[in-house]
Structure 1
């Protein structure tokens, strides 16, 4: 047995700890889920929808408890009120489109044949969720998987150890059978062994590239489907006709919110040379106004990073870039303790030879480069191993569409950034992973097609 410990970034204390299941105990949970899933899938679709939405509401009912827990576990300031708005929005949209998305595809029904394609649940879906937006990332898969008739086994990140427990308890109080939606605490080895033993019918993983590779390796030869959302290095491109103030406000917030720990956060910005100086000046002014501090303080606008080791990686990227000629524009904040509390930073004179413009930073740092043309910006945006989102700033929709068509990415934004629209497929390319969540396509990935070819006796 391993003891999982959530170390709070606020003060380095152990905020929560839970023992892991051994392989035998874990298999019992999966067996229970598999048995319960059969009856769950037989329930009318609207009944499943109603129960899932009741579970969502039950999570909302404990939001006052959840918000400070998130601050203790991963450092997000309480002033932002947690994640329930996005959590409910995503679940509500998937509930709204469920009947249409899961409807049979009717091919023909004539005197001789009835032919149709039905979407049926995989069975037991294993969801491995990350710590940075722990409720919203989990609900992306949990809600549609349950609505579609699957049982769900959720394993949450150690950094947000209590999130899965809170969700499972809330859904159970709302009437979702406890074996249909389970939270489990597992070691990496047991997780790999479960996947390798074909315990699950589908695996949905959000996390690091290394973690995704481990999931795919464990599933090799089992024919278990694996959906992944992994690393990112999302770019913003500010064209010469952009609304400069809006571009600065949105892109810098996209780079710095949640201490830069966002899956689709902005990590590099390319600005047309005619706007570069003004963009940089406004960006520096914005970042200097942030208040770094204890996330339990309502005056704090930026809390600590979730773990000291994450902050150490960002510091290393910044230090290496400065040593190679980059210019840092933000003096160290008084609250920067050399640990989890980290000064947000803007860098210029950066190049793609520097790790800060190439590797995922996942912290409050952004490099800004001037460009002279769309072609130059496109080449730089595509010069990355990742492809999650790209944010384009222009008043010309046709131009944005033309540039967007040339970017290797999962989502193209125009005049916005760092937002997940549940009506659109959340997906990526290259080392950001494969698969798609939310939207009608999310239901397609959480079910399998089953064809019916029925010959009538005449």
Structure 2
């Protein structure tokens, strides 16, 4: 049985693209072809796989003039920001550069009696379920290293960015990656769960909501299929008493509002030393009042619509609940705010952790700001969350930042920056943000399995 997937454009509510899903039977047949093609792909020399993957990456770059307005129409990011190819290329390039190191045998001993070593071998078929908010960059985090490591890849994108997987597959196939080795599919949720439960995949990487991650775990229960999960976030920023409040506001407010706040590691709550609180808030309000909400196809627009009216309704609900409970909203409703996907970016003060806006994931252009008296209070509040992806610390003292960072339950600690994924570092989270790790050498370790060799040498 097939269903129709509809990508509804947040620009005007029109249907931008439609695709028919595969039935479970058709999907199994396609995956069987992919599984059959994987061994030959893994047998190719490492450098050949690297070259083909990077040629595919370059081919995606050649499409960028088409991709940028297409992304605006699918999920609302303004064209002025130029799409995702910079990060897409940076991440793939870094993983290509470290592939030999990341996949090298671990030599234990080689003497007159034995040769002992551990080899990294591909899982087989890796299933990548990518989100809509950064659909190219989140996908390449796994697609590039998985292919380089010798896996075959099946890619499924969110309905909101329905055309991204097709473009990636077209580019990689044109560059010489076999069609069966890198396959884009359209699947509904039930079929996806059925395929995972049937052990059609050897490793699953999912980026999305906590509920989506729980569905993946339920589907994989008892199959022993490896899972990599990057789920929700409520990332904090902390401005220490020795920071420059204006500089900190510029960094943290951009991290809170860019992409209409729809960033996995966007800043959703900020704690400021009480000596800097008023100056920080004043600068934050000045920055947000300078934004222009509007049509993402207009190069003057700095904040486009949220990707879906449902997402915008959740942000409005959190703001309204907070204000009703005593929070102060600092940004007047902007004329472009239509009550739907287009909404006013908001800064809230007089907030508490009793409010959902400081506790639940918002994933939109709103941030609450609280004063704190010292590092201990800031750490307590930053850890008062079910999530743990990143934390952003603003200070002139790197030693102090590291000490505070050690106490924070998070996957990445930033100092004097935020909302950036460094491909040389493991991208990981804790608590309800998920498990596993992407990129870096650790990314290769998660996309392969260890295989030990204990070779006794002949004595005659």
Q: Where on the TM-score scale, by shorter chain, does this alignment land: which range?
A: over 0.9
What does residue 247 of structure 1 align with? 248
- Secondary structure of the residue aligned to 2:191 is helix
Query: 2: distance between equivalents of 1:450 and 1:367?
Result: 48
- Secondary structure of the residue aligned to 2:104 is coil
What does residue 265 of structure 2 align with? 264
Work out whether 1:190 is the aligned partner of 2:191: yes
- Secondary structure of the residue aligned to 1:405 is helix
Q: Which deviations, in whole Å up to 9, do the C-alpha atoms of 1:383-404 show, x marking residues without a partner?
A: 0000000000000010000000
What does residue 155 of structure 1 align with? 156
Q: Is the 8 Å Cα contact of residues 112 and 457 (structure 2) preserved in structure 1? A: yes
Q: CA shift at 1:98, angstroms? A: 0.2
Q: CA shift at 1:187, angstroms? A: 0.5
Work out whether 1:277 is the aligned partner of 2:278: yes
What does residue 17 of structure 1 align with? 18
Moved more, 29-38 or 424-433: 29-38
Work out whether 1:358 is the aligned partner of 2:359: yes
Q: CA shift at 1:243, angstroms? A: 2.2
Query: 2: distance between equivalents of 1:456 and 1:280?
Result: 70
What does residue 438 of structure 1 align with? 439
- Secondary structure of the residue aligned to 1:167 is helix
What does residue 66 of structure 1 align with? 67
- Secondary structure of the residue aligned to 2:434 is coil
Query: 2: distance between equivalents of 1:443 and 1:343?
Result: 41
TM-score, reference length from structure 1: 1.00
Query: 1: distance between equivalents of 2:275 and 2:112?
Result: 69
Q: Which deviations, in whole Å up to 9, do the C-alpha atoms of 1:256-311 show, x marking residues without a partner?
A: 00000000000000000000000000000000000000000000000000000000
Q: CA shift at 1:29, angstroms? A: 1.2
Query: 1: distance between equivalents of 2:27 and 2:160?
Result: 21
Q: Which deviations, in whole Å up to 9, do the C-alpha atoms of 1:95-129 show, x marking residues without a partner?
A: 00000010000011111000000000000000000
Where has structure 1 moved over 4 Å in runs of 4 or more?
A: none
What does residue 309 of structure 2 align with? 308
Work out whether 1:129 is the aligned partner of 2:130: yes
TM-score, reference length from structure 2: 0.99
What does residue 395 of structure 1 align with? 396
- Secondary structure of the residue aligned to 1:245 is helix
What does residue 37 of structure 1 align with? 38
Query: 1: distance between equivalents of 2:45 and 2:244?
Result: 49
Query: 1: distance between equivalents of 2:354 and 2:184?
Result: 42
How do 1:47-126 and structure 2 match up within 5 A? 47-126=48-127
Q: Which deviations, in whole Å up to 9, do the C-alpha atoms of 1:144-186 show, x marking residues without a partner?
A: 0000000000000000000000000000000000000000000
Query: 2: distance between equivalents of 1:457 and 1:9?
Result: 69
- Secondary structure of the residue aligned to 1:173 is helix
- Secondary structure of the residue aligned to 2:218 is helix
What does residue 386 of structure 2 align with? 385
- Secondary structure of the residue aligned to 2:376 is helix
Query: 1: distance between equivalents of 2:265 and 2:30?
Result: 33
Q: Is the 8 Å Cα contact of residues 118 and 452 (structure 2) preserved in structure 1? A: yes
Query: 2: distance between equivalents of 1:322 and 1:81?
Result: 35
How do 1:191-230 and structure 2 match up within 5 A? 191-230=192-231
Query: 1: distance between equivalents of 2:243 and 2:53?
Result: 42
- Secondary structure of the residue aligned to 2:423 is coil
Query: 1: distance between equivalents of 2:168 and 2:238?
Result: 38
Query: 2: distance between equivalents of 1:246 and 1:15?
Result: 40
- Secondary structure of the residue aligned to 1:118 is strand
Q: Which deviations, in whole Å up to 9, do the C-alpha atoms of 1:188-229 show, x marking residues without a partner?
A: 000000000000000000000000000010000001001100
Q: CA shift at 1:246, angstroms? A: 1.6
Query: 1: distance between equivalents of 2:132 and 2:39?
Result: 31
Query: 2: distance between equivalents of 1:145 and 1:119?
Result: 12
Matched residue count:
458
Work out whether 1:46 is the aligned partner of 2:55: no
Q: CA shift at 1:75, angstroms? A: 0.1
Q: CA RMSD in A?
A: 0.3
Q: CA shift at 1:23, angstroms? A: 0.5
Q: CA shift at 1:244, angstroms? A: 1.9
Query: 1: distance between equivalents of 2:22 and 2:338?
Result: 36
Q: Is the 8 Å Cα contact of residues 268 and 358 (structure 2) preserved in structure 1? A: yes
What does residue 453 of structure 2 align with? 452
Structure 2 alignment gaps of length 5 or more: none
Query: 2: distance between equivalents of 1:275 and 1:225?
Result: 46
- Secondary structure of the residue aligned to 1:235 is strand
